[in-house]
Structure 1
Amino acid sequence: MADWSPRPSTDQETAPLLRDPDEEDTAANEESTLMDRINSVAQEPLTPLTKVLLVVALILLLLSSVFIGLFAGVQHKLNLERGKHDDPSSTISVTLTATSTATATTTATSTSIATTTASPPTPTGAPEEPVCLTEDCILLAASILSSIDTKQDPCENFYEFANGGWLRAHPLPADKGSFGNFEALAQDNEHVIQRILEDQSSTSTFTTSDDTQILAKLRGFYSSCMNEAYLDDRGHEPLMVVVNNIRQMFRGKQVVIKDENGDSNGLTAALAYMHSRGLEALFSFEIEGDVGVDPNHLVLWFSQPSLGLPSKEYYDEEDIRSVYQDVVQRLLLAVSDEDEKNAQQSSNASPALVQQNSIWPPWPWPPWGGDDDDGSDGGSGGKKPINKTKRAHKLAQKVLEFETKLARASLDLDILYQDPIATYNPAPISNLTDSLPQIHFKEYFSTFASRNYPDRVIITYPPFVQSLSDILNETSSDVVEAYLVTQAALSLSSYLGMGTEAWQAQRTLVEALSGIKKGAVGDRAEYCVNQVEQALGFAAGRYFVNETFSGESKEKGTKVITDIVKAFQRSLKGIDWMDNKSAKAASDKAQAIRVKVGYPLSPDTTNPTSIANYYAKVTGDKDTFFENVLSASINNEIRGWLQLGKQRDVNAWEMYPSMVNAYFNPPANEIVFPAGILQPPFFKKDWPAYISYGAFGQVAAHELTHAFDSAGRLYNQHGKLEQWWTNQTSQGFQAKQDCIIKQFSGYSIDDGKGGKVYVNGNLTSGENIGDTGLVQAYRAWKAQYDSSYEAGQEFLLPGLPYTREQLFFISFARIWARSMKPAAAVQRIRTDPHSPSKYRVDGTVFNIKEFGKAFNCPSTAQLNPPPEKQCIFWGR
């Protein structure tokens, strides 16, 4: 395990850069003596200790060369005032650009000072601050310097200023539609897990029988994913098992569900089979707290499903519709070809008879008749050969029309994500069963939670239920069956070998929607590690945490969070739109928030028995990757349904430890920060505080602020959905929310086709308000500054011509560096409640007056607007 602690003081460079002329003779003599000693040593054999010291010296020399190169390359082009600062801790300003005046001096020693006029030192001057010259400090400084683009004016385009260098150095990989610091860190975390999976010795200290079992399951899962030759050899076989089960159940030929009268319902059986494997179709269920009654009592939520395309807007775009229809057609043909091949292998009949008897879906098509009579006569001694391609083409058209109706009946995402009142519609279960009679829900529920039939359900969008029933009534069974099959194929094809037609068909859709270069495929190991995390994330997290999250990381990360909570509570007194009663309630809610950092206790990542039991039913057998994925999905779905009607497990997490993310859960009133995000460039326990509070502090403040954003503010401190602010305060907040909606709705991106797509200010309002929490991170850093400075945790970094305040904001901006293809950017704007990265930076600092002050921005600067144009939520 790497030692991330600072180097001892003996590694720091303390010799002055300029010598006293009177000492030159002495220095020469010392140099001569040193050479004599070197010659003497060179004639002696090298001991092992000497060899080690030589290697260390070479490493230090290399690091020094890198630092000197970066130091010399900095071209400081900011026309900003350097010198004394409001905060006494920032009175020393390091400047690397020499001026042209005859009196200007630039002195570089282990402490760097830049002045505009030469003046002799005085006894009463501020003491020079030491600069950290450890390896970690040099690397951190170099990372910041390489990220910055000094050609940009931070007061006009802060995102490009803080990230221009990074963006130039990290061109978008051909196999990715989007890549930024979040993805870069995720790759680093995956490399840690990859070493654990591939290197048996990396986990040699874990010797319990449970650890042996867990590691075998992890490594078996990974190995099955990496065995591409076996995947190619199996072809479509694993997918066809699922497809055939869906078809047989749908047609009633495989009776697994019967209603109380003993009648089978094929649609119900097929849906239950799919949903139990995480394959969405027609609708979705979730087990979550009853936020209107008891947020910790887990109940059933009914909602609309995910669609084949990312959002309903795509169903109105002809070019995407054309691509999607072609993909559906290819999947249908792939299934038909497999049917024909299997029938040929299992029958001695003539090829013509095999083809006729293996037609899928059942012929004639369409079942109501039409202009397709030249395709077949339905098997009655047909006059013309079967045209599979034409049949699949027409069926794909009907599937697309069916999905388009589902999309139009669905609730808009800005309401689904941002309005918890509109989406909380409790009702007796009979409301659902009566409105959607095509589904036998009692039998459906028995698949997941035997003898646990709910009497109440929460429906996110009641009109969708009736619309779904109407759509099913007017759609033929063959189209519904084809829809179910293609939804399963779209979800599962990525787990097949890349040589299969199904894999290539779904990849075509991915490329069209994300802008990925055709045929560009990323590293297989990276993909497989990600699959291990998705399926067995808490198991992998046990060993990831051991490698990356030791020592004081958890303690120091938690301190940043709790400091921000305190800063938020203090700020409530100065908010002009919040009255005292509401401020007190808001403070109580902030105080009540559960803070979770690093890793969960349910399952307990520190306890191998807890992990082994959690994944007891998940297979990890060699060479069965497809089945391993389905096994993990079934385990996850059934585990969730078994919680129905129970109390929330307050120790449970929704994210695994290595994930580069964080979240706020309103019903649980908790904020959660996996160990995966508590890594550079977000956090390191030995970094100066102004860096940690700017980078990870923004993440922490963002999640805290979600408790008081457009949706989070509607939940009280117990997670219950109710009005707990006064009407006056709610009206004041709404005015602020309207302000930020208007601000972000004015931002746009290039769609790659010569047009613009504007940010949906309603969809992104909650996340944009969350980003305003940056000011709380800044205040939290300032509040602890004196004690932190005394403890030596506000040390300066070498070669950085910026104040601590400026570096706080630079650290914030750097975490959002991201390159993205236009197609991927359009998809995110339509589906993602987060604004594009550029606006998460510039749009946020636009509303923070401390930013303009830190960079001495003129009053005319784009990012230093007058107060009346800012959307300031949390006081001045």
Structure 2
Amino acid sequence: MQSQQQQQQFQSELLQQNGGMPAVPGANWQPHGYDWLQVAAKLRRNYGLDLLIGLRIGYNYDNVQENSIYLTIPETIMPRHLCSSRLNTTNVSYAALEQRATEQLQRWLTIAQHSAHSIARDVLSLEHELCGGMGQLLQWSAERQLYERNYSRKALAMHSQLYDIDFEAYVSQIFERTIYKPVYLVAPGYYEQLKRTLQTRNASQVANYLMYRALAALELQSTDKFCLERSKSLLPAALGEMYAKPISSLQLPQELLQLYDQLRTSLSQSLSAAWLEEGSQRIAKRKLNELQLTYPKYEHSQGLLNVQLQHNNYWQNLRQLLQAKQSKQLARLFEENLPAPADPLEAYETRIVFRAVQRHLELPWALLQPPEYDARYGQALTYATLGTQLAQAQAQAFDEQHWSVRLLESDNWDGLTGWRYRNRSDCFAQQVLHYLQANATATQLLIQRSAALNVAFRAYLNWLGYLEPHNDFARLSKESLPGLNYSNTALFFLAYAQQHCLPKHQEREQQLHGWSSYKFSARQNHSWTRLLVNGVLQNHAEFAREFRCPVGSAMNPYDKCLIY
């Protein structure tokens, strides 16, 4: 009962302090004097909510010794893959979102179902319209957008004049000071659409949208998954330190460092390919040699938020943690001398991050456990799982985005090498069409995964070649598994494919979130997973030989795609 009262008080204060919500019964809400920009800025400053305007802080593209503001697309109710595709309003996924919003509004505001449905319809309609200006942009893909479109920083006043949106007032209110630094605006199409949408919507609809989004973002859900995700969001360093503590005194296993070196040697061999000009080969190999492997380290209390939490008062603690987190993040704008990355890697994560500025790969401790890694595994399994993930991160340092000047990189790839790369990329783009609709992200991912498999397999063969002359039969005997009639190289490909399998409960979660109703393939019989397994393996000649795939079959096409 006390918790429910605290929640109601929190929600009531949230509405009162942020312009109110016309949908609240008896609110007597007045549109006169309502300033949506001021409300959006307060919600961003106090709760980190990117509503209608997206604001990020990251490296200044022109000078990585400082950070810069990026005005990009905001967060959305619709999942990104649905928003970017301009989901049809008759689609079952759209109806599910509308139904969820209706149920939430009924629960929060104690209003009739038809009233809640009317408000939910307006909220989703407004966002659906905004999605029309987002295209394929992601919330935080500023660096790629700058690379492809060569944006330059401008003063906030200039951006305000161009889009008739007072970005100057919005940013100043968030930072509680005037910001004189020029900023990047990396989603011009979206802000043109925002301007058009606001001209056709009344203040009441905008206010309902903003407050629905705020209430939904801060809603408490009584599930273990929600609790974990909110703790990771608000206390990432504390959780990371707890996760790493049992193994923080250990160094990276020697076997893992050898794996990384083998992968680096293998990729270096790929960088000697004839399609790279000699000068580009030298630049690439020097860059590869500088690429070091690191992992999250924690000093006691480093990164922790200085707040006094109260027992049995979730909502007060939430308010304190969100405000402390936002204060810390906003202070990043004023960091100098090679600021830290905007997305620090925590020990419990499973992503490997390529840091172009620091020139290293970050490996989380979570990957140093089954199924990705186990010292008892044969090397075929290790190279196929953790090895391919490391190799993919290495290959990202040499994708198309890196033919040109990038953060801290003054050496350019030559134009002829870049032209050849793009020609080879076209081969992968055509292969994507056999699995999914035309998709630049899928093409880039297929290139990276194919390179990772090639590099990891060659590294594994190099490892075998080192052992065989030394007659290390004890280790070689671990490369096959008893009771399975597969060679060690066949096990390599099986392990690569198996790491893409999902438990049944995760497949059900995808269906519940709308993936089952959104078909990526024109033939509606393929998926991302099939692309990342079959699409990658079909380009590998050794796979076709190992499993006796007929020449010209789907898994052994005449024309195979290759970059690395």
Query: 1: CA distance between counterparts of 2:516 and 2:441?
Result: 15
Query: 2: CA distance between counterparts of 1:630 and 1:463?
Result: 34
1:591 aligns with 2:289: yes
Letter in 2 for 1:337: T
Q: Show the counterpart of 2:434.
A: 746
Q: Show the counterpart of 1:780.
A: 459
Q: Mind listing any 5+ residue stretches in structure 2 that lack a counterpart?
A: 23-32
Cα offset for 1:696? 0.1
Q: For each residue in 1:288-328, what CA deviation from the matched residue of structure 2 results, as whole angstroms up to 9, or x when unmatched? A: 1122x223431111101122111323542314443333443
Query: 2: CA distance between counterparts of 1:419 and 1:562?
Result: 33
Q: Is the 8 A contact 2:65 2:338 kept in 1?
A: yes
TM-score between both structures, scaled by the size of structure 1 = 0.55
Q: For each residue in 1:705-747, what CA deviation from the matched residue of structure 2 results, as whole angstroms up to 9, or x when unmatched? A: 112224344454x545x88222211111111211111111221
Q: Show the counterpart of 1:547.
A: 246
1:491 aligns with 2:491: no
- Residues 443 and 760 of structure 1: is their aligned pair in 2 closer, same or farther, counting only changes over 3 Å? closer
Q: Show the counterpart of 2:134.
A: 410
Query: 2: CA distance between counterparts of 1:691 and 1:673?
Result: 18
Query: 1: CA distance between counterparts of 2:239 and 2:51?
Result: 30
1:480 aligns with 2:206: yes
Q: What secondary structure is seen at the aligned counterpart in 2 of 1:286?
A: strand
Q: What secondary structure is seen at the aligned counterpart in 1 of 2:332?
A: coil
- Residues 327 and 737 of structure 1: is their aligned pair in 2 closer, same or farther, counting only changes over 3 Å? same
Q: For each residue in 1:380-439, what CA deviation from the matched residue of structure 2 results, as whole angstroms up to 9, or x when unmatched? A: xxxxxxxx6555444433333322221112232389856552355223222222234443
1:288 aligns with 2:61: no
Q: For each residue in 1:758-799, what CA deviation from the matched residue of structure 2 results, as whole angstroms up to 9, or x when unmatched? A: 344322122221101211111222223344565654442433
- Residues 541 and 399 of structure 1: is their aligned pair in 2 closer, same or farther, counting only changes over 3 Å? closer
Query: 2: CA distance between counterparts of 1:794 and 1:237?
Result: 66
Q: Show the counterpart of 2:40.
A: 271
Q: Is the 8 A contact 2:305 2:325 kept in 1?
A: no
1:844 aligns with 2:536: yes
Q: For each residue in 1:499-539, what CA deviation from the matched residue of structure 2 results, as whole angstroms up to 9, or x when unmatched? A: xxxxxxxxxxxxxxxxxxxxxxxxx4454334323322221
Q: Show the counterpart of 2:257.
A: 558
Q: What secondary structure is seen at the aligned counterpart in 1 of 2:294?
A: strand
Q: Show the counterpart of 2:497.
A: 813
Match of residue 660, structure 1, among 344, 347, 350: 350
Cα offset for 1:817? 0.8
Cα offset for 1:482? 0.5
Match of residue 637, structure 1, among 326, 338, 358: 326
Cα offset for 1:841? 1.2
Cα offset for 1:845? 1.1
Letter in 1 for 2:166: I
- Residues 440 and 288 of structure 1: is their aligned pair in 2 closer, same or farther, counting only changes over 3 Å? closer
1:300 aligns with 2:69: yes
Cα offset for 1:336? 3.6
Match of residue 13, structure 2, among 235, 238, 241: 241
Letter in 2 for 1:703: A
Q: Show the counterpart of 1:771.
A: 449
1:325 aligns with 2:98: yes
Cα offset for 1:473? 2.9
Q: What secondary structure is seen at the aligned counterpart in 2 of 1:556?
A: helix
Q: Show the counterpart of 1:737.
A: 425
- Residues 335 and 232 of structure 1: is their aligned pair in 2 closer, same or farther, counting only changes over 3 Å? closer
Q: For each residue in 1:453-499, what CA deviation from the matched residue of structure 2 results, as whole angstroms up to 9, or x when unmatched? A: 14311111223323322322332111110010111122222x245xx
1:762 aligns with 2:535: no
Letter in 1 for 2:168: F
Q: Which moved more, 1:274-283 or 1:619-628?
A: 619-628
Letter in 1 for 2:546: A
- Residues 412 and 304 of structure 1: is their aligned pair in 2 closer, same or farther, counting only changes over 3 Å? same
Letter in 2 for 1:528: C
Q: Show the counterpart of 1:465.
A: 191
Query: 1: CA distance between counterparts of 2:405 and 2:258?
Result: 25
- Residues 619 and 442 of structure 1: is their aligned pair in 2 closer, same or farther, counting only changes over 3 Å? same
- Residues 552 and 298 of structure 1: is their aligned pair in 2 closer, same or farther, counting only changes over 3 Å? closer
- Residues 302 and 729 of structure 1: is their aligned pair in 2 closer, same or farther, counting only changes over 3 Å? same
Cα offset for 1:669? 4.3
Q: Show the counterpart of 1:190.
A: none
Q: What secondary structure is seen at the aligned counterpart in 1 of 2:235?
A: helix
Query: 1: CA distance between counterparts of 2:228 and 2:139?
Result: 35
Q: For each residue in 1:62-89, what CA deviation from the matched residue of structure 2 results, as whole angstroms up to 9, or x when unmatched? A: xxxxxxxxxxxxxxxxxxxxxxxxxxxx
Alignment of 1:248-259 (within 5 A): 248=20
Match of residue 484, structure 2, among 781, 800, 804: 800
Query: 2: CA distance between counterparts of 1:808 and 1:284?
Result: 43
- Residues 416 and 825 of structure 1: is their aligned pair in 2 closer, same or farther, counting only changes over 3 Å? farther
Q: Is the 8 A contact 2:391 2:456 kept in 1?
A: yes
Q: Show the counterpart of 1:621.
A: 310
- Residues 328 and 529 of structure 1: is their aligned pair in 2 closer, same or farther, counting only changes over 3 Å? closer
Q: Is the 8 A contact 2:294 2:363 kept in 1?
A: yes
Letter in 1 for 2:236: G
Q: Show the counterpart of 1:37.
A: none
Letter in 1 for 2:153: A
Cα offset for 1:627? 4.1
Q: Is the 8 A contact 1:424 1:460 kept in 2?
A: no
Query: 2: CA distance between counterparts of 1:231 and 1:444?
Result: 35
Cα offset for 1:231? 4.8
Cα offset for 1:826? 5.3
Q: Show the counterpart of 1:728.
A: 416
Q: Is the 8 A contact 2:163 2:191 kept in 1?
A: yes
Letter in 2 for 1:693: Y
- The alignment's C-alpha RMSD in Å is 3.4
Letter in 2 for 1:545: A
Q: Is the 8 A contact 1:683 1:696 kept in 2?
A: yes
Query: 1: CA distance between counterparts of 2:6 and 2:467?
Result: 60
- Residues 710 and 623 of structure 1: is their aligned pair in 2 closer, same or farther, counting only changes over 3 Å? farther
Q: Show the counterpart of 1:421.
A: 147
Q: Show the counterpart of 2:88.
A: 316
- Residues 674 and 452 of structure 1: is their aligned pair in 2 closer, same or farther, counting only changes over 3 Å? farther
Q: What secondary structure is seen at the aligned counterpart in 1 of 2:416?
A: helix
Cα offset for 1:569? 1.4
Percent identity for Structure 1 against Structure 2: 17
Bigger-Rg structure (1/2): 1
Cα offset for 1:812? 1.6
Q: What secondary structure is seen at the aligned counterpart in 1 of 2:557?
A: coil
Letter in 1 for 2:209: Y
Q: Show the counterpart of 1:400.
A: 124
Cα offset for 1:853? 3.2
Letter in 2 for 1:775: N
Q: Show the counterpart of 2:26.
A: none
Query: 2: CA distance between counterparts of 1:414 and 1:446?
Result: 25
Q: Show the counterpart of 1:360.
A: none
Q: For each residue in 1:201-221, what CA deviation from the matched residue of structure 2 results, as whole angstroms up to 9, or x when unmatched? A: xxxxxxxxxxxxxxxxxxxxx
Q: Is the 8 A contact 1:568 1:776 kept in 2?
A: yes
Q: What secondary structure is seen at the aligned counterpart in 2 of 1:322?
A: helix
Q: What secondary structure is seen at the aligned counterpart in 2 of 1:608?
A: coil
Alignment of 1:119-268 (within 5 A): 231=3, 234=6, 236-248=8-20, 266-268=35-37
- Residues 841 and 455 of structure 1: is their aligned pair in 2 closer, same or farther, counting only changes over 3 Å? same
Q: Mind listing any 5+ residue stretches in structure 1 that lack a counterpart?
A: 1-228, 251-263, 339-387, 498-523, 748-757
1:853 aligns with 2:551: no
Query: 1: CA distance between counterparts of 2:552 and 2:190?
Result: 50
Letter in 1 for 2:311: K
Q: Is the 8 A contact 2:71 2:183 kept in 1?
A: yes
